Chains A and B, each alone.
Chain A
Amino acid sequence: QKEVEQNSGPLSVPEGAIASLNCTYSDRGSQSFFWYRQYSGKSPELIMFIYSNGDKEDGRFTAQLNKASQYVSLLIRDSQPSDSATYLCAVNLPGGGSQGNLIFGKGTKLSVKP
């Protein structure tokens, strides 16, 4: 069974701080990497994706990928209370069998305190 591991949290940061969310994955054949945000009682929403080693920035969000270390991270700068949610890391592994094409971590719950 391929795995994606995340710290379940909760991760608590003060408003305006940088939140750092981490994810490791087990299969070196993984091709693309995603971060989803899920508010309580709602469905997951794609907020970032990254395909190549290095950093990718979009507004206050930066995704970082290190394929050699099998590690993906998401940085949220100037954290706001509205960023409080569960963040799911997902890894694309076509032909994943009973796991489908995307393997999801269990999520990290982020709480941003005013």
Chain B
Amino acid sequence: DGGITQSPKYLFRKEGQNVTLSCEQNLNHDAMYWYRQDPGQGLRLIYYSQIVNDFQKGDIAEGYSVSREKKESFPLTVTSAQKNPTAFYLCASSTLTGVNGYTFGSGTRLTVV
């Protein structure tokens, strides 16, 4: 079955550490997205990509980095520059324009310890 897979489900980060969240899709979607969700809050866009080797900053890109070396994969690195990284991270994918909506992964919950 086609879908979008995020791993790990839970991740713990020490102060000053970089961590990478994985997102893989087999839906043949051109566009992929990373969102952050804080408790009781809406979705905030971090980065998105519509084509391999190209990506655009969302509203809260500072402290994060991404790569898109393959159409199927869009990993997110939370760097030590992100001062408040504890949150629920959601990856999504869509057709190029998103006219049919997004498909979301199951999410990664990141906690700073």
Contact of A43 among B42, B90, B94 (CB under 8 A): B90
Q: How far is A70 from B106 in the complex, measured between Cα atoms in Å?
A: 31
If A98-B57, A98-B58 touch, whether A43 touches B107 (CB-CB below 8 Å) is yes
If A42-B107, A43-B90, A107-B42 touch, whether A98 touches B101 (CB-CB below 8 Å) is no
Stretch at the interface among A18-26, A58-66, A76-84, A87-95: A87-95
Indicate if the CB atoms of A88 and B98 lie closer than 8 Å: no
A104 smallest CB distance to B (angstroms): 5
Contact of A101 among B31, B90, B107 (CB under 8 A): B31
Q: How far is A110 from B88 in the complex, measured between Cα atoms in Å?
A: 21
- Nearest to B31 among chain A residues (CB) is A101
Number of interchain pairs (Cβ within 8 Å): 63
Contacts of B45 in A (CB 8 A): 98-100
Indicate if the CB atoms of A100 and B105 lie closer than 8 Å: no
Indicate if the CB atoms of A46 and B101 lie closer than 8 Å: yes
Indicate if the CB atoms of B99 and A32 lie closer than 8 Å: yes
Q: Is B86 an interface residue (CB 8 A)?
A: no
Contact of B101 among A32, A43, A105 (CB under 8 A): A32
Q: How far is A42 from B31 in the complex, measured between Cα atoms in Å?
A: 22
Chain B residues 55-113 with CB under 8 Å of chain A are: 56-59, 88, 90, 94, 97-107
Contact of A106 among B33, B42, B100, B107 (CB under 8 A): B42
